[in-house]
């Protein structure tokens, strides 16, 4: 008689650990977000511990007293790991593992794990592996002992254990190879960007905190069919789609990876080619979750990250999304933006206002053209129709009379 064995994946039960070094720090809110990251990565947070210290302990992240407290919690709650809210040094990770004899993770490793599971395109996979290798390069010896016992779970996706079998020289060679591949992707992006510039197509980059509704907005206004879930980093790979405005004009919308507090520098460096879409866009559409109690802090994180990416002065439209989740309608403003709109992508509220603002911005850089084109130059009118706003098209004996708003850069092509 054949016997069947049922295999069950071990549930990852983790304790969240944070250190508050200054009075008034939002450590508890940061731990709540860390809990969401843990759930997204597939773990179950069972407790959170915050220690008030003048500074983070250089050897063990937290003090001896908290280590004892966490050791007791691990036993009492049947937890098998902890996640620290800051990036741990190799020494801190080693010492904590020796003290607690359990899986030790930090915020960076959890985010890298989520990204590894969400990357779909070749570029996304290259960027994730590059970020993971940079993170692991300085921790190769320290992580070898602790991760060699793991059979799966957070921190083992992507390059995972097979990379730990390499020495630092091989890792450096792999990093160099990935950087060359990423450079090819970057050159390809620059070619596409150059083509858009030659075609005078305006590009708007959608930026915002993770889970603010960026992908949902792109889907709603362009039928992009991008994955959209109520999760952190539901989508990772950037998507560009054309949006047609009521006037007939087109602009391109590019969705970018969501920002988050304490975004690991490994990710910012690896995803620079993707995030540069915001740098080279003509304007930014900043999507904000108006229903989140940490809304103002999340907005500041986005602006700080944009400055870190050296995104220059651009027109910004801030969309206070998820108005349908507010108990009462609220007029919100972003004083760092040129326009502030209250919308709900889910219900469609305020999207008509967004279209009006986009058309207003497009008109700012356009000229009013009134001209008769010979019938043999009818192709130029198709160009006007796509890149400008055609107000009047009249067929006369001498040719086609056109009144339209056109981009200044298009004027030379029509002569």
> Per the annotation, does 48 bind a ligand?
no
> Per the annotation, does 167 bind a ligand?
no
> Per the annotation, does 345 bind a ligand?
yes
Alpha-carbon span 314 to 31, nearest angstrom: 33
Measured in degrees and rounded to the nearest 5, phi and psi for residue 105 equal -130, 160
Taking CA atoms, 361 is separated from 204, 247, 406, in Å, by 11, 13, 13
> Per the annotation, does 237 bind a ligand?
yes
> Per the annotation, does 263 bind a ligand?
no
Measured in degrees and rounded to the nearest 5, phi and psi for residue 315 equal -65, 135
> Per the annotation, does 233 bind a ligand?
yes
> Per the annotation, does 213 bind a ligand?
yes
At residue 315, the 3 state secondary structure works out as: strand
> Per the annotation, does 145 bind a ligand?
no
> Per the annotation, does 209 bind a ligand?
yes
> Per the annotation, does 344 bind a ligand?
yes
> Per the annotation, does 335 bind a ligand?
no
> Per the annotation, does 55 bind a ligand?
no
Alpha-carbon span 224 to 185, nearest angstrom: 22
> Per the annotation, does 373 bind a ligand?
no
Burial code (b: 16+ CB inside 10 Å, e: under 16) for 256-281 equals bbbbbbbbbebbeebbebbbbbbebb
> Per the annotation, does 22 bind a ligand?
no
Alpha-carbon span 217 to 335, nearest angstrom: 22
> Per the annotation, does 5 bind a ligand?
no
> Per the annotation, does 222 bind a ligand?
no
> Per the annotation, does 257 bind a ligand?
yes
> Per the annotation, does 215 bind a ligand?
yes
* C-alpha dihedral (403, 405, 406, 408), degrees to nearest 10: 120
> Per the annotation, does 78 bind a ligand?
no
Taking CA atoms, 231 is separated from 76, 136, 202, 257, in Å, by 30, 26, 30, 13
Contacts of residue 205, Cβ cutoff 8 Å, sequence gap at least 6: 253, 254, 256, 277, 278, 281, 283, 284, 285
Alpha-carbon span 209 to 215, nearest angstrom: 12
> Per the annotation, does 8 bind a ligand?
no
Binding site for Mg(2+): residue ranges?
Answer: 215, 235
Binding site: residue ranges?
Answer: 208-215, 233-237, 255-258, 321-324, 344-346
Binding site for GTP: residue ranges?
Answer: 208-215, 233-237, 255-258, 321-324, 344-346
């Amino acid at each position: 008689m054949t016997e069947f064995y049922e295999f069950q994946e071990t549930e990852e039960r983790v304790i969240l650990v944070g250190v508050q070094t200054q009075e008034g720090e939002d450590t508890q809110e940061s731990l709540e977000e860390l809990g969401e990251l843990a759930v997204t990565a597939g773990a179950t947070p069972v407790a959170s511990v915050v220690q008030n210290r003048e500074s983070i302990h250089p050897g063990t992240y937290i003090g001896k007293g908290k280590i004892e407290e966490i050791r007791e919690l691990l036993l009492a709650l049947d937890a098998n790991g902890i996640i620290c809210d800051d990036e741990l040094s190799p020494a801190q990770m080693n010492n904590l593992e020796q003290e607690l004899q359990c899986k030790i993770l930090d915020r960076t490793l959890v985010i890298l794990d989520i990204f590894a599971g969400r990357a779909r395109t070749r570029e996304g996979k290259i960027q994730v592996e590059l970020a993971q290798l940079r993170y692991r390069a300085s921790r190769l010896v320290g992580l070898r002992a602790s991760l060699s016992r793991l059979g799966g779970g957070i921190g083992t996706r992507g390059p995972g254990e097979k990379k730990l079998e390499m020495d630092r020289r091989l890792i450096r060679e792999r990093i160099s190879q990935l950087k060359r591949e990423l450079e090819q992707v970057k050159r390809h992006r620059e070619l596409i960007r150059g083509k858009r510039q030659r075609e005078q197509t305006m590009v708007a980059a959608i930026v915002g905190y993770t889970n603010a509704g960026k992908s949902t907005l792109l889907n709603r206004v362009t039928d992009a069919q991008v994955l959209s879930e109520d999760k952190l980093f539901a989508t990772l790979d950037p998507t560009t789609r054309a949006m047609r405005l009521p006037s007939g004009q087109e602009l391109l919308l590019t969705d970018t990876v969501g920002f988050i507090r304490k975004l690991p520098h490994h990710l910012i460096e690896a995803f620079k080619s993707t995030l540069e879409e915001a740098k080279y866009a003509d304007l930014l559409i900043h999507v904000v979750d108006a229903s989140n109690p940490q809304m103002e802090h999340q907005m500041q994180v986005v602006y700080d990250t944009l400055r870190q990416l050296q995104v220059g002065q651009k027109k910004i439209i801030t969309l206070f999304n998820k108005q349908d989740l507010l108990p009462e309608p609220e007029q919100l403003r972003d004083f760092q933006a040129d326009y502030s709109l209250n919308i709900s992508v889910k219900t469609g509220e305020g999207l008509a206002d967004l279209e009006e603002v986009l058309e207003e911005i497009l008109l700012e850089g356009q000229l009013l053209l009134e001209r008769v084109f010979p019938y043999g130059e009818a192709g130029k009118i198709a160009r006007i129709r796509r890149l400008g706003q055609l107000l009047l098209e009249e067929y006369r004996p001498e040719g086609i009379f056109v009144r339209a708003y056109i981009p200044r850069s298009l004027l030379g092509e029509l002569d």
